[in-house]
Amino acid sequence: MNNKTNILVVEDDRQIRKLMSTTLSSNEYSIECACDGGQAIMAISTNKFDIVLLDLGLPDMDGEIVIKKIREWSDIPIIVISARGEDSDKISALDNGADDYLTKPFSIEELMARIRVAQRRLLNKSDGSESVFQNGDLVVDYPAGTAYLKGRELSLTPIEYKLLSLLSRNAGKVLTHTYITDKIWGNSVDSDVASLRVFMASLRKKIEKDTAHPEYIQTHIGTGYRMIIVKK
Ligand code: CA
């Protein structure tokens, strides 16, 4: 086995598939392709891949079904590639366990940047039993229910702490508004998204140097939030 990052490209459009595999191969990635959902599931269950790039509109089954099936046994990072106007599909793909999304058309630079983010999650991945999360100057001590920035304890409200803990436990992944409000309030009526914004703003004031250019929590407009894994 080589030590290149192994990427599975799942795309039914031959030209896009070819373009993606050619450009990614020339950038030191090892690429394999699948043309539909069945092939993708088969490939992932029999080979070791590091990242999956998944087109949502596939001929044999919905990309969302592919994600659900993969998530039954694998935590492999999945970056969803969706066509414009498939916003609700994109959101439900994230809710089903995708890590990230890109909307067609996208630049290869953008794609590579997303792959690097997914790679960082891969490197950062633990078995989930770790009790302390560290990311740059930010530390979350789960058993103690406290968080620190540059070694100083943060004074967080219970909701702010829940929010920070949820984002940090899923660092690297885009979490949708519905997912977050569901986990925090146990339901997801529209007003909670407004409350979420308020709590997010107050949390950011406590952890971000510049709330206009957040370093830790990224906003995905109309979609949700992601804890960025800060480069070491
Ligand atoms: Ca397609």
pLDDT per position as a tens digit, 128-184: 567 899 999 999 999 999 999 999 999 999 999 999 999 999 999 999 999 999 899
What spacing in Å lies between the alpha carbon of 17 and ligand 1's midpoint? 10
Q: 221 CA to middle of ligand 1, Å?
A: 24
Cα(58) to ligand 1 centroid in Å equals 5
Assess if residue 49 is contained within a domain. Answer: yes
138 lies in the same domain as 220 = yes
185 CA to centre of ligand 1 in angstroms: 36
**Total residues found in the chain within this entry:** 232
- Provide the number of structural domains found in the chain: 2
CA of 9 to the centre of ligand 1 (A): 12
Domain contains 77:
yes
Ligand 1 centroid–CA 57 distance in Å is 4
Residue 199: inside a domain, yes or no?
A: yes
Report the distance separating Cα 215 and Cα 120, nearest Å. Answer: 15
Asked which of 76, 92, 125 is the last residue of a domain, the reply is: 125
The answer as to whether 1 is a domain residue is: no
Instruction: Report the separation in Å between the CA atom of 123 and the middle of ligand 1, taken as the mean of its atom positions.
Output: 30
Q: Among 125, 142, 158, where does a domain finish?
A: 125
Q: Is the pLDDT of residue 28 over 70?
A: yes
Let me know whether 65 and 135 are in one domain: no
83 CA from centroid of ligand 1 (Å): 8
Distance of CA 82 from the midpoint of ligand 1 (Å): 8
pLDDT of 77 reads 95
**pLDDT at 189 > cutoff 70:** no
Task: Report the chain's mean pLDDT, rounded to a whole number.
Answer: 90
pLDDT tens per residue, range 50-88: 999 999 999 999 999 999 999 999 999 999 998 866 678
Most confident of 38-42, 101-105, 120-124, 220-224: 38-42
Residues 112, 44: one domain? yes
Which CATH number goes with the domain that contains 205?
Answer: 1.10.10.10
Whether residue 109 sits in one domain with residue 178: no
Identify whether residues 213 and 194 lie together within a single domain.
yes
Question: Residues 119, 138: one domain?
Answer: no
> Is residue 44 a part of any domain in this protein?
yes
Examine the domain organization and report whether 97 and 139 are in the same domain: no
User: Is residue 94 a part of any domain in this protein?
Assistant: yes
Calpha distance 50→196 (Å, rounded): 33
What is the per-residue pLDDT for 15? 94
- Is the same domain home to 103 and 204? no
Same domain, 117 and 187: no
- What gap in Å lies between CA 76 and CA 109, rounded to an integer? 22
Residue 80 three-state SS = strand
| Distance from the alpha carbon of residue 55 to the mean position of ligand 1, in angstroms | 6
pLDDT of 121 reads: 81
Q: Report the CATH number at residue 87.
A: 3.40.50.2300
Q: Looking at the structure, tell me whether residues 110 and 207 fall in a common domain.
A: no
Q: What is the mean pLDDT of residues 94-120?
A: 91
Task: For residue 223, report the distance from its CA to the centre of ligand 1, in Å.
Answer: 22
CA–centroid distance, residue 148 to ligand 1 (Å): 44
Whether residues 102 and 193 share a domain: the answer is no
Contact 54, 81 (CB under 8 A): yes
Ligand 1 centroid from CA 1, angstroms: 30
What separation in Å is there between the alpha carbon of 106 and the centre of ligand 1? Answer: 14
Nearest-Å Rg of the Cα atoms of the chain is: 18
Domain shared by 119 and 133, yes or no: no
Distance from residue 2's CA to the centre of ligand 1 (Å): 30
Q: pLDDT exceeding 70 applies to what percent of the chain?
A: 93
Decide if pLDDT at 125 tops 70. Answer: no
Asked, for residue 232, whether it belongs to a domain, the answer is no
DSSP 165-230: HHHHHTTTSEEEHHHHHHHHHSS--HHHHHHHHHHHHHHHHHH-S-TTS-SSEEEETTTEEEE---
Q: Tell me which of 103, 125, 147 is where a domain ends.
A: 125
Residue 207 is part of which domain span?
129-227
> Is pLDDT at 1 greater than 50 in this prediction?
no
- Rounded Cα gap, residues 229 and 232, in angstroms: 9
What count of other Cβ atoms lies within 10 Å of the Cβ of residue 216? Answer: 23
Dist. CA 25 → ligand 1 center (Å): 21
Distance 213 CA to ligand 1 centre (A): 34
